[in-house]
A and B are shown apart, each in its own frame.
Chain A
Amino acid sequence: MTKLASLRSALCGATALAAFTLPTVAQEISILSGYPEMTPFYERVAESMKGDYPNLTVNVEPITLREHERRVALGLSSGLEGASVIELSTSTAGRYVQAGLMPAAPADISEFVSDPANFGQFFVDAASYDDTVYGVPLFRGQGALFYNTRMFAEAGLEGAPKTMDEYTDYAEKLTQRDENGNPVVSGWSLRLSGGSQGIAEKWWLILFNHGGTLIDEVSPGKWRAGYANEAGVKALGQYLDNIYDKKTVTIEMPSDAEAFEREQTAMFIRESWVIGDIAAKAPDLEYATAPLPVGSIALPVNLYVAGDGSTEDMQAAWDFAKAANEPENLVWLLENVGWLPNRTGVDFSSVTDEIEAFSAFVDYPEDYTFFTVPSIAVIEDLQTRLAAKLTEAFANPAMQGDDAAIMAFLESAAEETNAILKREGLLAE
C-alpha cells in the first residue's frame, strides 16, 4: 500500500467515524411575528417539528404589529441574517414580493398551497404574485359583532341588530347613564382615537356596511376614493349621531376589547382573536357574536420566508410554515388564540361546536360579502391621512345632522386620497 493510499483510507475512515459519532449540524430559524398572542402557537408548531428536525432551534420573536412592520421594512431592505419566517398581511407583503425581496416558495410548498383541497382561490391569490406562490396562508382577520347578552337582555333586546340603523337604535337602548345623563357604559364602542390607521380601517368596515368603500378599483390597477357619496355620509353621520345626538359613546370612554371584557361597553365590532382574549381575561363574560349586516373585512395573513440562511435552514423555515398548517395545529390555533385559520378541509367542529362565538365567523348568510385591503404601496399612507381627518370630524359636533357639511368634509378628504393615488400613478381617470 502506498503512502497516498494509506492516507486516503485514513481520511475516509475518519469521515465515516465523524458522521456516526458527531452530532448532526444544529439548525436555527427565527419567527418574526406582529401578533404577540401567536407566540404559544408558534412554540407549539416548533415542538411538533422535533421529530423531523431534532436539532432545530426556533426563535419566536413577536412584537407589536407596527413595530413588526418597521422591523420587516428595515430587515428586508438591509438584508436579514439567517432564515426567518415572516408573518405578514398580503397588503403589506405585496411590495416586498414585487421588489424581489421575498423568494418564491419551493416546489413542494407551492404545490401544497396551490392544492384546492388545502386553500380556496382567494387565499392562494393572496399568497401569490404573477401566478407564483410566495407565501403560505395561515389565518385571517375577519370582523363580526361582539355583544354582551346580559346587557341586551336587561335592555329588552333579543338577538343582534340586523341593519345599520338598528345598530344606532340598539346602542341608544344599551347605553347606561349616570344621574346627569352622561354615558358610563357605552352602547356601541366605536374606534374614535388611538393609533391612526386603525381609525380609518374601522370606519371602512362601517362604510362597507352602508354600501361604500374606501378606494374603488375602477379599472385593473387604477383606483379612486369611494367614500364621498351617500354611503360615506351615512357612515360618518352614524358616528356623529352616536357621539353627539344619541350620546351612546364618548371619545373619553374606555373602548375596544378591554372595555368589552370589563363590561364598559355593550357591543363592538372586532376580529375573532377577541374570543381567545375573552377566554383568557374574562371567562365569565356573557356574550355572543353576530355577522354584520352586509359583510366584513377579510385580511389574510401569510407566512413568508426570507434571509441569507443556508439551504437547509431555509427549507426548515418553509417546513415550519407548512407545519403551522397541520390540522391539529390549526385546531389548537382556533381554540386557544382565536384567529381564523385559512386552510379548508380541516374539521374545526370540535371548537366551533363548543365555542358558539365562532359561529358568526364561519356560519354567515349566503349573500354575505367580504372585502380586503388592496395590496398597493400607498394604502397605509391613504388610511393614515384619512384617519387624521376623521379624528377631526369626530371631534366636530357642528357637523352632526348636517349632511351637506359631512359631504363637503368627505369630498375634501377624497381629494387628498385621489391626490396620493395620482402621485403614485394609481389614480383612475
Chain B
Amino acid sequence: MLRRRRFRFAILALLPTFAIFAWVRMGPIVQTMNLSVRDWDLIGTNRPFIGLANFVELFGDSLFLTALVNTAIIAFGVMLLTIPTAMVLAGLIHYRTRSRFAGFYETSVFIPHVVSLVPAAMAWKWIFDAKLGPLNALIVSLGGSPQSWLFDPNLALFSIIVLCSWQALGYAVLIYLVGFRNLPTSVYEAARLDGASGIQAFRFLSIPLLKPITLYVSVVTLVSGFNVYAQAFVLASDSQGAPGRQVRVLVLDMLENAFRNYRVGYAAAEAMVLLLIVLILTGAQFALLREKGNSK
C-alpha cells in the first residue's frame, strides 16, 4: 500500500515536468510534423492535407539538395576538426594544470564560445576577404597565391567549417578537461611504470577512457553543425551585394521557404528531414561508440 502511494506520489511529482516537456519540446515537433503534410501559406486559414507531396517535391528540389549536401559537409567537417583538436588541446592544458598560466590557457580557448556570433563572423569575414584579408596577405608573404575564400564553392564551405570549429572548440575542450580530470591516476602510474611514453598513454589510455565524453561532444557538435545558419548567413550570404558566395544550408533554406516564399508546409517538411537525419546520426553514434566500448 505504502509502495503504491509512493509510486503515485512520484508520478504526480513528475507530472508537471512531463507536462512542460511535452508542451515545450514535443508540442512543436508534433505541430511541425502535422504542418509537413499540409499546404499552408502562413497567412491563409486553409491548410489542406496533401500527404507526402512536400517530401516528394523536396527530393527533386535542387536548392534543398544543395543545402542538404552543404549542411552535411559542414556538420561532419566541424566534428572531424573539433573533436581531435579539442582532445589534444584539453590533454595539453590538463598536462599543464600546475602551470601558473593554466587559467589563461583555459580562458583563451573558451572565449570564442562565449563571443557573440555576429561580430565574430564579421571578423572572420575580414580575415577571409580575398582582397584585403590578412589570411591572403600571409599566404602571399609566404610565396603562395591568394585564394578566393568566400567565393570558391569549396573554399567557402571550408571557411564556414573553420569558423564553426573555432567556436565549438572552447566548449569541447571544457568538457574534455572535465573528462581528463576524472580519469583514474593509478592507470597512468601503472603505464608509466611499464615504460609508456606520454604520447602512448594518451593514445592507449586517454582516448579509450574518454569515449563517453567523445560520444557526448561529438553528438552535440554534429547536431549543432546540422543547425548551422548564422555563420553561413553572415560569412557568405550577406545582403545588398556584399561579396561572398551564398552557401545554402538547411536552416537558411527553411527560413526562405517559410517566410519569403510563404510555403510553411514545405519548410516543415524540410525540418522533419533535418530531425530525421539528426536522430539517425545520433543513434548511429551511440550504437557505434557503445558497441566498441562493450567489446573492450
Contact = CB atoms under 8 A, between A and B. Distances in A.
Contacts of B260: 66, 69-70, 197, 380-381, 384
Interface in B18-44: 41-44
Given A377-B262, A391-B245, A198 B240 contact: yes
Interface residues of B, number: 30
B239 interface: yes
B206 interface: no
Interface string B240-255: 1111111010000001
A317 B104 CA distance: 55
B43 A195 contact: no
A70 B262 CA distance: 10
A197 B256 CA distance: 11
Interface of A: 64-66, 69-70, 73-74, 76-77, 95-96, 99, 101, 191, 193-198, 202, 251-257, 377-378, 380-381, 384-385, 388, 391, 395
Rank and list the top 7 A-B pairs by shortest CB-CB distance, nearest first: A256-B241, A381-B261, A195-B239, A252-B130, A70-B259, A194-B241, A99-B43
A96 B130 CA distance: 42
Contact of A198 (B42, B241, B248, B259): B241
Nearest to B42: A77
Given A73-B42, A377-B41, A385-B63, A195 B237 contact: yes
Contacts of B246: 193-196, 388, 391
A115 to B, nearest CB: 31
A256 B244 CA distance: 13
- The main secondary structure of chain B at its interface with chain A is loop
A64 B239 contact: yes
Nearest to A416: B62
B80 to A, nearest CB: 27
A176 to B, nearest CB: 14
Nearest to B61: A385
Given A251-B151, A378-B261, A388 B63 contact: yes
A251 B245 CA distance: 9
B52 to A, nearest CB: 16
A306 to B, nearest CB: 12
Contacts of B240: 194-195, 198, 256-257
B261 A195 contact: no
